[in-house]
Amino acid sequence: MQIQDPDRVNILLVDDQPAKLLSYEVILSELSENLIKANSAREALEHLLRTEVAVILLDVSMPELDGFELATMIREHPRFQKTAIIFVSAIQITELDSLRGYEAGAVDYVPVPVVPEVLRAKVRIFAELYRKTRQLERLNAELERRVADRTAALEAAAARLQESEQRRNLAMQAGRMGSWEWDVSADRYIWDAGQFRIFGVDPAGFVPTREAVDALIHPDDIEAMRGATASAAATGEYYDREFRICRPDGSLRWCLASGAASFDESGSPIRLSGITHDITERKRAEQALQQLNEELEQRIEERTREREVALAQLFEAQKIDTIGQLTGGVAHDFNNLLMAVLGSLELLKKRVAPEDARSHRLLDNAVQGAERGAALTQRLLAFARRQELKPETVDVPQLISGMEDLLRRAVGPAVMLGKDLPANLAPVRVDANQLELAILNLAVNARDAMPLGGMLSIVAAEQRIASGEGEGPRELPAGLYVRLQVVDSGLGMDEATLARATEPFFTTKGPGKGTGLGLSMVQGLAVQSGGAMRVTSEPGKGTTISLWLPQAELAEVQVAAPERGLAPRGNSAAIGPELTVLVVDDDLLVAAGTAAMLEDLGHRVIEASSGAQALDALRRHGRAIDIVITDHAMPGMTGLELAQQLKVSHPALPIILASGYADIDEAAEFGRLPRLAKPFRQIDLASAIAAARDSEAALPGDNNVVSLAAHL
């Protein structure tokens, strides 16, 4: 038969799900306490009536009785009114639920999924508090037993002893008590052996005069002791006073002195008699309990602060994600509008006589305005991290050198431009166009922060990050990176501004001078490229924007970004053979614009507003259709789902997947895809058709999907 360790406490785990009970048992096994499991409220009550329990871990949702009802029943029993009850809940806890739980007697909540370290820490605290409380109770019980024994002995002896013996035995206590008497007329103390033992002095060499005794009392307590004895001598009342002793060996002891005065027939005090009780152990236990309570309160405050910080961070992340989703959706719809506007303007411009300069100028202004709108959607998608990047191997020094003239024009003559770019810097894997735009954005921000001019430096260096260590951001995985920094000597930012610098739509510029999306766009590009961004700044000391971008493999070949050309003027039917094109788009404006550009190129067009209509058109027209151009984001059946069906039914039919939104991760399964973004121009459409047909010719028998991907 196994003997239970008396120092181990019982922890009751109550849950109707055996799997959760097993997980709690595994988590709490490290505490080396006795774990008792109950599958229902009835079984839990049976255990409680048979066993002393230190902590109850209680599920909120259970059949028969829920956690609140069971906790109320437990608290109604006198034995369990102070037993620690921790609720475990897998549902969202409202403020009302929290109040109900605390009214039912809970001391804490643990949400599911359970964090093992948090659960162990909470249970450990209450188990240790229970253990210390029981130890203190045992200590007090032992002390009370000893006092009762000594008191009974004194009472029995008092009946047989003379008055002189009564005064002595009144103070005699074995071990930690001593008796004393102060002769008022002689101004001297009379001590028994216990008194010498408590004060830690040798009876053979120590004479208890007033000066010698006062020298052993703690300086902070001496005046209080003198006042108590003087008051007792004057009034005849009993007194009890705690004080500290500084023993000759340097140790400190806590004592309790109790005494009373004796008077002669004239009412003058003759002596003070009393006992001294060494209460050091009790004081230490009280201090230990107080320290434990303070530590518990501190830990609860820390956990509360950590929870508040975590909730604030979660709320902020949810807010940013919600804004990102809304922003991406707006950019998607805006791309469709720009698609219709740019396509119509391009076709209209081809129909205006060349000598009508004013009309061409107005059309150019309209196109320029639409392209500025496209640039804004690019920033929106970059912030929302829903742009579809075209990563390639980029030589950063070469890229910055190529845009140096543009940077100098952007920052103006009052700002000096400096570079520290190693010639042998490792290439990075990033979208070159987006990186150029990000650097230009940062340069313009730096210029605005230096109204009187200053220094703008672009610095790059290689950096290895191992398991989140080093100077890089902790969220970066281990690997090789290039750290690109844009440093200005401008006004800098205070802590409040710096904390909000990357928030969407937050700007310190005046009305109409900034959208507040610049840093958000740069951060979105860095994160979406597998890197990170950090902003450091101090008022009057400038600002540093640091970008970490992953290094490219040495074997990769640099891919040149395709140049966007102007749509051919006049009759464009000479671009490729005449084709029958099925255009699928639920937006009638976009479908009409795409059809108009295709017809201008000399192709025949069949329109469908959904995937189902497209499949019906293919059944009716069969082999007459040469290529399919389909939007991706459509209700009922997405463009990718339509392409997957056509891959089975028409494996040789080229398909162009068009979208203004980069949510097409599944498209990777179709292999190497030429990509083109909405809004696209007529020349882009013609090139996409040619690329799709070339891919189909190069890979006979395989379906080819060209993604006109979802961002600018």
Provide the token pair at 270: 């003759």
User: Domain 391-550 - what CATH class?
Assistant: alpha beta
User: What is the Cα–Cα distance from 439 to 423, expressed in whole angstroms?
Assistant: 19
DSSP 540: T
User: What is the Cα–Cα distance from 550 to 481, expressed in whole angstroms?
Assistant: 4
pLDDT of residue 428: 92
Domain covering 161-278 in this structure, CATH number: 3.30.450.20
- Per-residue pLDDT tens for 384-409? 545 556 788 899 998 888 888 878 88
Distance (Å) of CA 190 to CA 173, 196, 205, 371:
16, 10, 14, 105
pLDDT of residue 36: 92
Distance (Å) of CA 34 to CA 52, 85, 129, 243, 624:
11, 16, 16, 42, 78
pLDDT of residue 427: 93
In CATH, the architecture of 10-136 is: 3-Layer(aba) Sandwich (3.40)
pLDDT of residue 622: 73
Provide the token pair at 694: 């070339």
pLDDT of residue 244: 92
pLDDT of residue 513: 45
Name the residue type at position 690: A
Q: Find, among 481, 408, 413, 475, the residue nearest to 439 by Cα.
A: 408
Domain ranges of the chain: 10-136, 161-278, 391-550, 580-708
pLDDT of residue 709: 29
pLDDT below 70 — which residues of the chain? Answer: 1-6, 90-95, 97-98, 101, 104, 157-175, 309-310, 312-335, 337, 339-340, 360, 369-389, 467-472, 498-518, 554-576, 660-677, 695-712
User: What is the Cα–Cα distance from 334 to 344, expressed in whole angstroms?
Assistant: 15
- Give ∠ CA 312-118-76 in degrees, rounded to 5: 100
In CATH, the architecture of 580-708 is: 3-Layer(aba) Sandwich (3.40)
Question: HSE on the CB side for 510, CA within 13 Å?
Answer: 1
Please check whether residue 537 is in contact with residue 498, taking contact to mean a CB–CB distance below 8 angstroms: yes
User: What is the Cα–Cα distance from 470 to 441, expressed in whole angstroms?
Assistant: 28
| Fold agreement between 10-136 and 580-708 | yes
DSSP 413: T
- Beta bridge pairs of residue 536: 544
- Give the global pTM: 0.37
